[in-house]
Structure 1
Amino acid sequence: MRLTLIALPVLALILTACEGGGDPVEQAMRDASAERHAALVKDGETSGAGHASAGHATTATSGDRAFAASEAAMHERMMAASGGTVDEAYIAKMIEHHRGAVAMAEVALKESRDPEVRRMAQTVIDTQTREIAEMRAWKPAGTN
């Protein structure tokens, strides 16, 4: 339960940093996720399948395994991304973060049959791909 309680605020911070806060579809996805988590907490199901709880590791689910490669690649590329300034490093790392989101959404499109999940995955692909292009086009102030 402690892991879940710590992970949620961290996830919220990451989502806020990535999303810029203004997209109503993405806000609705965040709200729905928070509502689902609140329901799980209320029902006493905070550990979730495949997650560590109270220091005990559990077996990965088929859902966890479907995303394992894309998650590992994203984390590896984010750690390797760098820049000479905070701005450059931020852009490099966020490009890799967004590439990871696109890869995970592609897994969801391939594997999911739920129309809402597929819609959300396509939205992630569309928005994150656009944001990757924006970040790649970014030039430090004064270098235009």
Structure 2
Amino acid sequence: MTRPRLVLVAALPLLLTACDGGGDPVQQVLLETSSRNQSATVVEGAVSGPEDHSAHDSGAPAATPGAGDVAFAASEAEMHRQMSAASGATVEEAYVAKMIAHHEGAIAMAEVALRESRDPEVRRMAQGVVDAQTREIAEMRAWRPATAD
């Protein structure tokens, strides 16, 4: 039995919360969209509620990656490589360096969606990610430790 692939809209609120402290209207739109979509997670042509995790937890081997997975593989791998390489002498410096790499990865994935998706809502969300993450990268690059003169 192959393991069904899930559209990972259920995890989006957690990812967005980790990326931003809140208050950003783009993040709010993404959270609202995710909440709407979470109630109808698509599983290989069938619809299951968010409570249906039986296929995911069954221990069955992973399904062959689909075209969507393949489209994001390079940008995901690069993001993880960049995050692993990012460092800092303090927790604060390491956090900023790793978050810049994380946001650059988010922009790269959003650019894949903009290039390959024809869904207007996905394209709107992806453009929102590009705009918000670009702004946040600039803010993080401008950050200086409180002890700096």
In the superposition, the TM-score normalised over structure 2's length comes to 0.79
| Change beyond 3 A, Cα 1:12–1:100 | same
Whose strand fraction is larger, Structure 1's or Structure 2's?
Answer: 2
Relative contact order, CA 8 A, sep 6+: which one is greater?
A: 2
> Hey, what does 1:85 align to over in structure 2?
90
What is the CA-CA distance between 1:45 and the residue it aligns to? 6.3
> Hey, what does 1:122 align to over in structure 2?
127
User: Cα deviation per residue 1:71-117 (whole Å; 9 max; x = unaligned)?
Assistant: 01001110111101000000000000000000001111110111121
Within 5 Å, which residues of 2 pair with 1:57-76? 57-76=62-81
After superposition, the CA RMSD in angstroms is 2.7
- Identity over aligned pairs, percent: 60
Instruction: Give every structure 1 segment of 4 or more consecutive aligned residues whose post-TM-superposition deviation is greater than 4 Å.
Output: 43-48
After superposing the two structures, state which structure 1 stretch, 94-103 or 109-118, moved more.
109-118
> Hey, what does 2:106 align to over in structure 1?
101
In the superposition, the TM-score normalised over structure 1's length comes to 0.82
Alignment size in residue pairs: 136
Verify: 1:42 aligned to 2:33, yes or no: no
Whose helix fraction is larger, Structure 1's or Structure 2's?
Answer: 1
Unaligned runs of 5+ in 1: none
